[in-house]
Structure 1
């Protein structure tokens, strides 16, 4: 009896253990669509002129030409790419060694800093493989630079109303309300007792030649905040970062809020985001449907396991606004898109049920990870923020949202009148442009 009882006990225990193992969900990563920002760069020539005129003094010089990816920026992006490649190999998305075209396809904005960042990310993920970097032969790629007459024309009055709403109804009131942030930035960039014109000028709305809204004054302050962050990120000596007024990541973070305010009033307007982000969002949605839908997809991107777009912070801003997705990470202010930061869409399948899910997250390196070129590891992970909404569940692989409802969220605010065929055959980079 005792032996029989023991047998029954162990049989029951084994059955419970077996059931638990079988019942535990097992997910497989099927597809990744990633939209990355370019890495660290000096200020663009236009921003440099505005900042120097507005502050009445020259700003720090860089070894790299204005607006182009720096050598330090390449290295930081390489480290992020190395982590992502290792992570996706462990997840079974890609295999060992150099990948096939079915495993990764890269499409970059035509500018040097984006193409070079694409090289850095893929060199880190696939060292020695020389992954082809594809980009449009045109100066303006409709996926990334599509605002303007004849493409996604912007209405001035709608933008004006959106900007005022984001700033609380009045430019002058917003400028007064934000004086603590403005004064802190002024202390960092202005010479004591010397003229610093941009800080004394009232903010005004005007429009660029392509129809985009601009806020004179605020735009220059935002460019200053961004440049101080880039000086820190490029590991400039402390006496050159913010003119010697910032010695920690926390201090840099406190100088950046006006960049968030500028985006709230311009690129993050729902109307502007819809005009600027609909075509790219449509391509992302189609990519996530590849291999699932039985209907042929028209004008879809190349069908590959890892589809990597490398573009600009404004493109990610459009997408996050369409998704109603925001984040605050580390020392960065709300909504910051740091150098080489990326908005990632992962498609997972639960093996037992066959159900599919989508995980949406924003990931990037901290201020100090970029400055110190810290290798990404379990001890020094990337900063990650996940989108969640009704129906999403936390799992061992992250927050997974039902496939159909996630796709519906992607498509919810796409303007169908802006959808057009996208060619991915325009030009293949034939030379490596890494700094």
Structure 2
């Protein structure tokens, strides 16, 4: 018997709505996951920001840690719980042709996370995700790849507007958050302070603020100075905590619990809000991914996008990239979530944006449910297996512009595609290599 909506909702920990139809089945799933726990991507750049030594990690900068791999396997087990069942992905077997396609960014941490998730969904099958070996993958990095270059003046104007009109406005706005960070981060070091003419002792917030638009041909825009640095420090401390480092090494022993980490992450959120989530920058970065996902969701239907070039058709499409990808898609779609223990729209390690396609077997109508899911910080730190009462958090998202559909918490597939296409930038698209 095919899985019905009520059983599907029960597996997700949700109550079946009144009038749930027994002929609504799960038809296709697209999972876009962030990579798992990693060390800093550039430890040398972090060193001058603290007078205390940073902890050491068991892998090179930026790579997936063994702890992160185990947590990603547990997320795969969570997906197995949700999606492996009669009529969709058969339990107890390796995927049949057409069941699965997995693709990752070329970075070690993204490839390794994809493979870990696959081993959780399909244990013992030895599955590995594909990837594009080019220096800048046009799917995950369209701006850097030159597919969607930024107009630097437009981008800079958007950043300044998001900051409140000026760099000084941002410095004032986030002063209290910097004060909280200073309770944990003792620094910068003397050399950094002296180099900026601030004496032997200074505060991170008092280093020069700026916006870097000096990259070639509009292929990057970033903040320079305190907010960018503070965002990175906060993210690294989150990774220390989630990654299971000893308590004495999490924020130099000055971060005691997940609540303390959440407080510091306010500066990480702020940096993303004023850069990646500004409408122009978000759309230039996210259009390529959202277009390909929309094409994938139309495969096997009579909608126009079904004939476009996209990823190989499959029941389950797993994509693994970065929190930057999820942040720009979130902003472009206009959706929002808040999971317990995290700031609004936070993107934890191995958290995922999921597109679930449902089908009415009587009418053939298809619907899309949009979900964000992630383990709590303590679930990642403790490597808690998904089980009753300890499932990863799950938020069903409402896509603005989608009309109410007969199936609760969904859009009609045609409405979903139309809404997504209305939000993306067609000049930011280019062919994608899936081989």
> Cα–Cα, structure 1 residues 423 and 240, in superposed 2: closer, same or farther, change >3 Å?
same
Work out whether residues 359 and 386 of structure 1, in 8 Å CA contact, stay in contact via their aligned partners in 2: yes
Find the counterpart in structure 2 of residue 77 from structure 1.
Answer: 72
Measure, in 2, the Cα distance between the counterparts of 1:224 and 1:141: 27
Which one of the candidate residues 362, 384, 391 is aligned to 2:403? Answer: 391
Scaled by the length of structure 1, the TM-score of the pair is: 0.87
Find the counterpart in structure 2 of residue 315 from structure 1.
Answer: 325
Which one of the candidate residues 363, 379, 386 is aligned to 2:373? Answer: 363
Find the counterpart in structure 1 of residue 233 from structure 2.
Answer: 224
Which one of the candidate residues 256, 260, 280 is aligned to 1:251? Answer: 260
Measure, in 2, the Cα distance between the counterparts of 1:369 and 1:377: 11
1:28 is the counterpart of 2:25: yes
Work out whether residues 136 and 145 of structure 2, in 8 Å CA contact, stay in contact via their aligned partners in 1: no
Please report the RMSD computed on the Cα atoms of aligned residues, expressed in angstroms. Answer: 2.1
Find the counterpart in structure 2 of residue 5 from structure 1.
Answer: none
Find the counterpart in structure 1 of residue 142 from structure 2.
Answer: 146
Alpha-carbon deviation of 1:31?
0.6
Find the counterpart in structure 1 of residue 222 from structure 2.
Answer: 214
Which one of the candidate residues 334, 337, 346 is aligned to 1:336? Answer: 346
Measure, in 2, the Cα distance between the counterparts of 1:321 and 1:138: 27
1:261 is the counterpart of 2:270: yes
Find the counterpart in structure 1 of residue 115 from structure 2.
Answer: 119
Measure, in 1, the Cα distance between the counterparts of 2:339 and 2:20: 35
Work out whether residues 359 and 365 of structure 2, in 8 Å CA contact, stay in contact via their aligned partners in 1: yes
Point out where structure 1 has 5 or more consecutive residues left out of the alignment: 1-20, 426-435
Higher alpha-carbon deviation: 66-75 or 152-161: 152-161
> Cα–Cα, structure 1 residues 218 and 94, in superposed 2: closer, same or farther, change >3 Å?
same
Give the secondary-structure state (helix, strand or coil) at the position aligned to 2:319: strand
> Cα–Cα, structure 1 residues 191 and 414, in superposed 2: closer, same or farther, change >3 Å?
closer
Point out where structure 2 has 5 or more consecutive residues left out of the alignment: 1-17, 191-200
Find the counterpart in structure 2 of residue 9 from structure 1.
Answer: none
Measure, in 2, the Cα distance between the counterparts of 1:196 and 1:417: 45
Measure, in 1, the Cα distance between the counterparts of 2:61 and 2:46: 13
Please identify the structure whose Cα radius of gyration is greater.
1
> Cα–Cα, structure 1 residues 177 and 394, in superposed 2: closer, same or farther, change >3 Å?
farther
Measure, in 2, the Cα distance between the counterparts of 1:201 and 1:193: 12
Q: Size of the alignment, in residue pairs?
A: 401
Measure, in 2, the Cα distance between the counterparts of 1:213 and 1:198: 21
Give the secondary-structure state (helix, strand or coil) at the position aligned to 2:207: coil
> Cα–Cα, structure 1 residues 55 and 354, in superposed 2: closer, same or farther, change >3 Å?
same
Find the counterpart in structure 1 of residue 35 from structure 2.
Answer: 38
Find the counterpart in structure 1 of residue 133 from structure 2.
Answer: 137
1:110 is the counterpart of 2:106: yes
Which one of the candidate residues 291, 298, 302 is aligned to 1:289? Answer: 298
Higher alpha-carbon deviation: 234-243 or 374-383: 374-383
Measure, in 2, the Cα distance between the counterparts of 1:101 and 1:411: 30
Work out whether residues 56 and 196 of structure 1, in 8 Å CA contact, stay in contact via their aligned partners in 2: no
Which one of the candidate residues 361, 366, 369 is aligned to 1:351? Answer: 361
Work out whether residues 34 and 345 of structure 1, in 8 Å CA contact, stay in contact via their aligned partners in 2: yes
Give the secondary-structure state (helix, strand or coil) at the position aligned to 1:377: coil
Alpha-carbon deviation of 1:325?
1.1
1:201 is the counterpart of 2:207: yes
Give the secondary-structure state (helix, strand or coil) at the position aligned to 2:261: helix
Measure, in 1, the Cα distance between the counterparts of 2:170 and 2:421: 33
Work out whether residues 99 and 315 of structure 2, in 8 Å CA contact, stay in contact via their aligned partners in 1: yes
Measure, in 2, the Cα distance between the counterparts of 1:23 and 1:241: 47
Give the secondary-structure state (helix, strand or coil) at the position aligned to 2:248: coil
Work out whether residues 156 and 207 of structure 1, in 8 Å CA contact, stay in contact via their aligned partners in 2: yes
Which one of the candidate residues 85, 107, 125 is aligned to 1:90? Answer: 85
Measure, in 1, the Cα distance between the counterparts of 2:378 and 2:72: 14
Which one of the candidate residues 397, 407, 418 is aligned to 1:408? Answer: 418
Measure, in 2, the Cα distance between the counterparts of 1:101 and 1:319: 29
Find the counterpart in structure 1 of residue 195 from structure 2.
Answer: none
Higher alpha-carbon deviation: 408-417 or 290-299: 290-299
Alpha-carbon deviation of 1:232?
0.1
Work out whether residues 49 and 188 of structure 2, in 8 Å CA contact, stay in contact via their aligned partners in 1: no
Scaled by the length of structure 2, the TM-score of the pair is: 0.87
